[in-house]
Structure 1
Amino acid sequence: MTTRERILHAVLRVIGTDGVAGVTNRRVAREAEVSLGSITYHFASQHELLREAMLLFVAEETARLSGVAERHLDQPVTLAEAAALVERIALHTRFGHEEIAPLELYLQAGRDPGLRDAAAECFAAYDRIALTVLSGLGVPTPERLAGPVVALVTGLQLRRLATGTAGASIADAVTMVVRGAG
């Protein structure tokens, strides 16, 4: 892992622990085990540091989810099977500090227009994965449903994080949305 990546992962851990307000160059340097100068060498501003941390997370998460989709959806599957796969992936996602951090960053993007493009890139990546899965299922006009499916899964994951319980079945919810659109 490069110094830059260590710094970005440290930013995600700090945000996941203490929120965006906890991100200081000193704290990140200590967490990443790098010199304070490394932070300013690699990142010109706090905006850049936060933006790049968000983009690193989504790049890694997109690669992980795309790999899962490719492994499991390389042959025809039913809607029920695909929905069950989405639920398994969601329920096996642990909520460590680095997984909580993007949710904090999305909220921060609501306050800070400088982060909105990065947040939009993150959701676009999730939309692309949803579009791939929906297209593979033969859903008519999958582009209409990709965003709502991502919003549904994200909302249910946020609820799971906030309450500590799984709550509503993700598989049932995804199935209802896709069937209702057909």
Structure 2
Amino acid sequence: MNRERILGATLWVIARQGLSGTTMERVAGRAGISPGSVTFHFARKDALLLAALDHVVAMFEGARRRVLMEAGDDPARALERLIDISLDPRISAPDAIAVWTAFWGEAKARRLYLERVGEADAVFQADLLTLCRRMLAGTGARNEGRAAEALARGLGGLIDGLWQDALVAGRSFDRAAARDLAISYLATVFPNEPRWHVAPGHDEEQSREGAAS
């Protein structure tokens, strides 16, 4: 239990102090435990920082594997669920995103970021590419391979941008609106997938119902 509390406190401190400003004492204070309890679990600051990074990566990786398994042979469902986990507040909370960006942003820590996160980033992008290829298969799209790569990179870039928005906006970040934006992207690039399209007149009907109430 203390280890989880320490990791949660570490995310909080990194988000506010950066890697260089994160100390065992600050983490202990945030966790409400003694500095000795922190050093019992993590002998050095470097070990604590890397454990925090590994923690956020493991949360994302676990969710990614789970939703792909649940989606089975449905690529549209898989894409939708990958968007959902990317915007899940447990995974893309501002404090968690701050850890990713802190390691990437500090030159001395970037090698560690690439060692620990590079593979996860590559796997996620490969998932998007595979799913986009499956969505385009048999549609007659011109140069399906290149088209799938462009669409996958576009979706990955959109998700990255939404993460930056979440980091800047903090608690005011509108996750429902962000999800709608990502789904609208899918609806635009895959117009033949009915589940991503609102029926004509649906928005107007909802507006009338809202006004009447």
Tell me which amino acid in the other structure corresponds to 1:15: I
Q: Count matched residues.
A: 172
1:170 aligns with 2:182: yes
Please say if residues 69 and 133 of structure 1, whose CA atoms lie closer than 8 Å, have aligned partners that are also in contact: no
Please say if residues 29 and 36 of structure 1, whose CA atoms lie closer than 8 Å, have aligned partners that are also in contact: yes
Please say if residues 97 and 167 of structure 2, whose CA atoms lie closer than 8 Å, have aligned partners that are also in contact: no
Structure 1 residues without counterparts, runs of 5 or longer: none
Residue 66 of structure 1 deviates from its aligned partner by 1.7
1:43 aligns with 2:42: yes
Specify the alignment match of 1:25 in structure 2: 24
Please say if residues 51 and 115 of structure 1, whose CA atoms lie closer than 8 Å, have aligned partners that are also in contact: no
Listed as ranges, the matches of 1:50-129 within 5 Å are 50-71=49-70, 73-78=71-76, 81-91=77-87, 93-94=88-89, 99-120=93-114, 121-129=116-124
The alignment's C-alpha RMSD in Å is: 3.6
Within 2, Cα distance between the matches of 1:145 and 1:86? Answer: 15
Structure with bigger gyration radius:
2
Question: Secondary structure of 2:39's match?
Answer: helix
Question: Secondary structure of 1:50's match?
Answer: helix
| Higher RCO, Cα 8 Å, sep 6+ | 1
Within 2, Cα distance between the matches of 1:143 and 1:172? Answer: 18
Specify the alignment match of 1:9 in structure 2: 8
Q: Under a length normalisation based on structure 2, what TM-score does the superposition of the two structures give?
A: 0.61
Within 2, Cα distance between the matches of 1:65 and 1:158? Answer: 20
Distance 1:4 1:84, change over 3 A: closer
Distance 1:122 1:174, change over 3 A: farther
Structure 2 residues without counterparts, runs of 5 or longer: 135-144, 192-213
Specify the alignment match of 1:157 in structure 2: 163
Question: Secondary structure of 1:75's match?
Answer: coil
Within 2, Cα distance between the matches of 1:176 and 1:34? Answer: 51
Q: Under a length normalisation based on structure 1, what TM-score does the superposition of the two structures give?
A: 0.69
Identity of aligned pairs, percent? Answer: 26
Tell me which amino acid in the other structure corresponds to 1:54: L
Within 2, Cα distance between the matches of 1:23 and 1:105? Answer: 11
Residue 82 of structure 1 deviates from its aligned partner by 4.2
Within 2, Cα distance between the matches of 1:95 and 1:161? Answer: 13
